[in-house]
Amino acid sequence: MTRPQHFLIRMMLFVGAVIAVVIFLYMPLQEAFRANVPLNSLIVSVLLLGIIYNFRQVLMLNPDVKWLEDFQQNKLGGQPPHLLAPMATMLGDQSDFLRLSALSMRSVLDGIASRLDESRELSRYTIGLLVFLGLLGTFWGLLDTVSSIRGVISSLSVTGGDIGEVFQDLKNGLEKPLGGMGTAFSSSLLGLAGSLILGFLDLQAGQAQNRFYNELEEWLSSVARLSSGSGLSAEGDQAVPAYVQALLEQTADSLENLQRTLTRGEESRIAVNLNLQQMGEQMSILTDHMRTEQTLMKSMAESQMGLQAVLTKMSDTGGANAASALDDASRGHIRSLDLLMGRLVEEMSTGRADMLQQIRSEIKLLARTVAALSENKNS
């Protein structure tokens, strides 16, 4: 989504240019403002309120843009902004799989468009109000001018007297009509200039809102999955009834839910088969270990039988002869054989315990997978 900052930059540059022009023309603008201070103060106040309101309209788009970006990235938190509240209620938490019919998406976009238009009504009203105040000042000044000229003409007398005094009275009498003309032109100047300024700011605010609306429409059109029955229409001039269209949409949604359930069940079945395959491999390894241990036990039994025969023969030779026959090499060989047998028995018991632990872990994992699969089928 595009942030509305560059529209704010345009608006601030335009307001800065207006301020520079006002500073450059300060003296003539001050004289025009003093022609009718109450009305001109009202016009300037309306202008300032309109400028603040237009900036506020653009700044209010930032929470909506941020909420949409968080929604696209599955980072939802807090309440949705006022503009996107209906869409947030309709979409819920399904950010990765959107299900909107054509009518639902159209209603969401129409609601947002109406809210945007409603927010700009006050700005448009202030533009018209500035024009009205300028025209009001114009007619006010013209009325003062007409009444003053009528008074001057009625009081003018050319019978007798000095001609210089007549022109002096005419000059003094025309000061008030000229003041009325100043009121008219100053109010028109401020009103039209204010409407021009607010018109440009309202144009920038409208462009920012239109950019937001267009990007939202493009995102919904590209991400949302439309129901197959939403766009159906009968051939010719007859349209599909509303209840039939609603029934088709509900059927399409039910089929989509069934498809997702079957997909999840297939994924669970594949996971169970994989776990069973891994468990079979572990059982094969355990069988190989047990066969190896059985072979080793058989070899140990044969060695023990041979050793028993030697010991029996040695015991039959008698005490002294046995002591002389059992030399140091034989004692070392017997001691080594005893240590080797003890180590072999220890390793066999340790390997058997590890293998049993692995089998228990695989059986627990298989039981959890089967339980999850049964829950998915029930749901």
The whole-angstrom separation of Cα 122 and Cα 27 is 32
Q: Is 120 helix (H, G, I), strand (E, B) or coil?
A: coil
Structural domain containing residue 309? 258-378
299-321 pLDDT, tens per residue? 777 776 766 666 666 666 655 45
Residues 204 and 283 in one domain: no
The answer to whether position 275 is within a domain reads yes
Percent of the chain with pLDDT over 90: 14
Based on the fold, state whether residues 200 and 273 are members of the same structural domain: no
Contact status, residue 116 vs residue 4, Cβ threshold 8 Å: no
d(CA 10, CA 284): 74
Residue that terminates a domain, selected from 200, 223, 246:
223
Q: Name the least confident of 110-124, 215-229, 230-244, 352-366.
A: 230-244
Residue 171: the pLDDT is 61
User: 87 near 194, Cβ under 8 Å?
Assistant: no
Flag whether pLDDT at 181 surpasses 70: no
Question: Is residue 191 within 8 Å of residue 50, measured between CB atoms?
Answer: no
DSSP state for residue 96 in the 8-state scheme: S
Of 223, 189, 202, which is closest to residue 105 (Cα–Cα)? 223
Q: Does residue 333 carry a pLDDT above 90? A: no
Are 289 and 169 members of one domain? no
Contact between residue 40 and residue 33 where contact means Cβ atoms under 8 Å apart: yes
Same domain, 147 and 191: yes
Inter-residue contact 131 to 117 (CB < 8 Å): no
Same-domain check for residues 15 and 66 = yes
Instruction: Please write the tens of the pLDDT for every residue from 39-87.
Output: 889 999 999 999 999 999 999 888 888 888 877 777 665 667 777 777 7
Query: Is 272 found in the same domain as 161?
Result: no
pLDDT, tens digit, 9 for 90 and up, residues 19-52: 999 999 888 888 888 877 888 899 999 999 999 9
Confidence of residue 151 (pLDDT cuts 50, 70, 90): low
∠ CA(335), CA(341), CA(345), 5° rounding? 150
Domain presence at residue 265 = yes
Residue 68: per-residue pLDDT: 81
Residue 59: C-alpha distances to residues 8, 70, 72, 224 (Å): 8, 18, 21, 28
Looking at 223, 248, 273, which one is the last position of a domain? 223
| DSSP β-bridge partners for residue 99 | 225
The answer as to whether 241 is a domain residue is no
Task: Give, in degrees to the nearest 5, the angle at Cα 276 between 271 and 282.
Answer: 130
